């Protein structure tokens, strides 16, 4: 069962809109509906099945209408609390992950420094990637890869650069 509210405009056109928040217009903040009428706060609740057929109508101000509003407010509050709980859990998970990362950072940083210290020339990198050396020059010319340069201004790459190029090359192939 789908809960729907109708506006006077939608009733006339037979076009209900779906929504459960009281007083919130589904249109831009101009305050008007697509038909041009001001969005009223007093609404009838219309219940429809999946085929769009009207099952029940709760007129505004009736006892059924008040009960439906109370249920909607309870559901809204429950959703809000659940969202707050989920956000708190996510924040706690982030903090746990951050603490684990900080513990491992020193070890990883040492390894990265060691891996980035060794440099490879164009021929060695081309052999590892399985491409011609001129292809690497073409990629550099196009700006697709950015090599570091040694004291003679020759392009050189670290292991980290080679790994990122391999990922990039495989991503481009697909």
- The CATH number linked to 165 is 1.10.1660.10
User: Max CA-CA distance within the chain?
Assistant: 87
User: Is 86 inside any structural domain?
Assistant: no
Show pLDDT as tens, one digit a residue, over the chain (174 residues): 444 444 443 333 344 444 443 444 344 444 444 443 333 457 788 888 888 888 888 888 888 888 888 998 999 999 999 999 999 999 998 888 777 767 666 666 666 666 667 888 999 999 988 899 999 999 999 999 999 998 999 999 988 888 888 888 888 664
User: Is 156 inside any structural domain?
Assistant: yes
User: Is 52 inside any structural domain?
Assistant: yes
- pLDDT at residue number 134: 94
User: What's the total number of domains in the chain?
Assistant: 2
- pLDDT at residue number 24: 40
Expressed as residue numbers, the domain containing 133 is: 122-173
Helices (H), the chain: 8-13, 63-117, 122-129, 133-142, 159-173
Of 39, 60, 81, the residue that ends a domain is 60
User: Is 110 inside any structural domain?
Assistant: no
Contact 1, 47 (CB under 8 A): yes
User: Is 41 inside any structural domain?
Assistant: yes
User: Is 29 inside any structural domain?
Assistant: yes
User: Is 112 inside any structural domain?
Assistant: no
User: Is 67 inside any structural domain?
Assistant: no
């Amino acid at each position: 069962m789908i809960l729907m509210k109708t506006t006077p405009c939608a009733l006339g056109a037979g076009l209900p809109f779906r929504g459960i928040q009281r007083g919130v217009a589904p249109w831009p903040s101009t305050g008007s509906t697509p038909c041009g009428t001001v969005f009223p706060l007093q609404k009838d609740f219309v219940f429809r099945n999946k085929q769009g057929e009207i099952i029940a109508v709760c007129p505004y101000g009736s006892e059924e209408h008040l009960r439906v509003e109370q249920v909607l407010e309870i559901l809204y509050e429950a959703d809000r609390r659940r969202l707050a709980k989920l956000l708190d859990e996510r924040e706690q998970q982030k903090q746990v992950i951050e603490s684990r990362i900080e513990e491992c950072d020193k070890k990883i940083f040492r390894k990265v420094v060691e891996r980035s210290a060794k440099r490879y020339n164009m021929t060695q990198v081309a052999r590892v990637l399985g491409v011609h050396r001129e292809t690497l020059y073409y990629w550099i010319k196009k700006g697709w890869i950015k090599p570091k340069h040694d004291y003679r201004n020759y392009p050189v790459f670290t292991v980290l650069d080679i790994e990122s190029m391999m990922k990039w090359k495989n991503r481009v192939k697909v």
